Structure 1
Amino acid sequence: MSKLVTPNLDDLVLDADLVKEYLEQNLDFFAKYPELVNQLQITHVSRGAVSLLEKRQEMQRAKITQLEEELTTLIGNARVNEVIFKAISEIYIALVGCDSIQQLEDTVNKICQEHLYLVQFRLLQPQDEAYLHLQAKLGDRGTYLGRVSQELMEVVFDEKAQSIALIEVVHESEDTEEIFGIAAFGAKDADHFQPQMDTFFIRELARLLSRHFVHLVR
């Protein structure tokens, strides 16, 4: 008859992983032994040792702060999207009455200044002095957001701008692709237009412009 072997507790090695695993499997451990909550000490970089309860409260406060920041960002994005949508709607309606390229440019410029607080909107064509310089910035995607030399900014815009957004105004049909020009948006803030930004607004505007260009140049 075999004997029941009792493990020698002295041979049991208790390491951090075992403790962690045990606590994960017994989430009510500190509820059963609440006196340990204040006895356990956690080293804090600036405050020395703090209790487990204080550490948990600190983590909860950090989580709340993070959630508040995320909510603020979402609200900010929603407001920006609302402004952009309103500007696109205004432009869509206003373009209907345009009967020249200059009037089209002036109309979009006015709305961009009033609704988006941009320095200026320009619609450049191949005969414009800055056209080739801006075209070189576009690359394969047909868009550019960021900065260019101040000298080039002064050629493109009538007032001082620190950052720029560019997009080709292209009309695509089944067989051909016709480039009408480059739409340029200037902003006072050097960080207003950045390479990683979404290009929805300028792409949507370029699409609207191309549709009206077709009727104006033919």
Structure 2
Amino acid sequence: MNDQQQTVLSEEQVAEYLQQQPDFFQRHLDLLEQMHIPHASGNAISLIAKQLELFRVRHQEQENQLTALIDIARENDAAFNRMHELTLAMLEANSLEEAIANLSEVLAECFVTDFVAVKIIKQYPESPLSNIFVQQDDAGLKHFSTELESNQSKCGRPTLAQARFLFADNAAEVKSCAIIPMAFTQLQGLLAIGSRDEGRFHYSMGSLFLTQMSEVIGTRLISLLQHPET
């Protein structure tokens, strides 16, 4: 190769050099005035304008991510507060009757629900709330075999048979509900939360929060059933 022949650099070499020399254009400001980068619209824009555009896009992306994180944090705080209210309401109950009354009240006020149903699979004829107890062989339980066998909550529109079993005379008003199985060694049953709004309990809703809810309620019901005056 002729010594006077100019060495041709590859694009990769140029890019690597510029990465190693981030202040290159500060030392050669005149080049910025000569350089242009094609724009999506077909017009050419300066390197500085392109950099500003990229910075704005990245800044907007970071703002969107921050906003999403703030929204998630707010939702988590709200969920925590609702669960706290539910826990207090159950702990304050000194009888099964009070527990059911407190449960209905806190779910209506804090969880914006219209109907609440509790079904405990147990023979308990002495209770004034005999309507919440069902026998193991009750024909109505066959409509919840999937939930009880899988121990998984289900959200969406209930079948008419399910709604009638859970909500009796209010069945026709329930457009969506969450059916939450309670499966414990000392207690088996169902908790159902219904709404007149068909979009309130959508089938795509997560089940973790509902499972935690059933654990709080189920644990307190077990205590009250074993020690009625606790």
TM over 0.5: yes
1:84 aligns with 2:79: yes
CA contact (8 A) 2:114 2:194 kept: yes
Residue type of the alignment partner of 1:212: R
Structure 1 residues 33 and 202: alpha-carbon distance in aligned structure 2, compared to 1, 3 A threshold? same
CA contact (8 A) 1:145 1:165 kept: yes
1:54-203 counterparts in 2 under 5 A? 54-95=49-90, 96-100=92-96, 103-125=98-120, 127=134, 131-137=141-147, 140=150, 142-144=151-153, 146-148=155-157, 151=160, 154-155=163-164, 156=166, 158=170, 159-162=173-176, 164-171=177-184, 177-186=185-194, 188=197, 190=199, 193=202, 195=204, 197=206, 199=208, 201-203=209-211
CA contact (8 A) 1:83 1:116 kept: no
The SS at the match of 1:197 is: coil
Q: Alignment partner for residue 209 of structure 1, among 178, 197, 217?
A: 217
Structure 1 residues 57 and 112: alpha-carbon distance in aligned structure 2, compared to 1, 3 A threshold? farther
Structure 1 residues 48 and 179: alpha-carbon distance in aligned structure 2, compared to 1, 3 A threshold? farther
1:21-36 counterparts in 2 under 5 A? 21-36=16-31
C-alpha distance in structure 1 between counterparts of 2:15 and 2:203, whole Å = 45
CA contact (8 A) 2:152 2:207 kept: no
Q: Tell me by how many angstroms 1:182 deviates.
A: 2.4
C-alpha distance in structure 1 between counterparts of 2:143 and 2:158, whole Å = 10
CA contact (8 A) 1:166 1:185 kept: yes
Q: Alignment partner for residue 44 of structure 2, among 33, 40, 49?
A: 49
Unaligned runs of 5+ in 1: 172-176
Share of identical aligned residues, percent? 22
C-alpha distance in structure 1 between counterparts of 2:210 and 2:84, whole Å = 13
More deviation, 25-34/43-52: 43-52
Structure 1 residues 62 and 186: alpha-carbon distance in aligned structure 2, compared to 1, 3 A threshold? farther
Please report the TM-score for the alignment, with normalisation by the length of structure 1: 0.71
Deviant stretches of 4+, over 6 Å: none
Aligned to 1:174: none
The SS at the match of 1:182 is: strand
Residue type of the alignment partner of 1:99: S
More deviation, 130-139/20-29: 130-139
C-alpha distance in structure 2 between counterparts of 1:6 and 1:20, whole Å = 25
Unaligned runs of 5+ in 2: 122-133
Aligned residues: 203
C-alpha distance in structure 1 between counterparts of 2:187 and 2:56, whole Å = 54
Q: Tell me by how many angstroms 1:27 deviates.
A: 1.0
Residue type of the alignment partner of 2:199: A
Residue type of the alignment partner of 1:74: L
Residue type of the alignment partner of 1:133: H
Please report the TM-score for the alignment, with normalisation by the length of structure 2: 0.68
Residue type of the alignment partner of 2:6: L
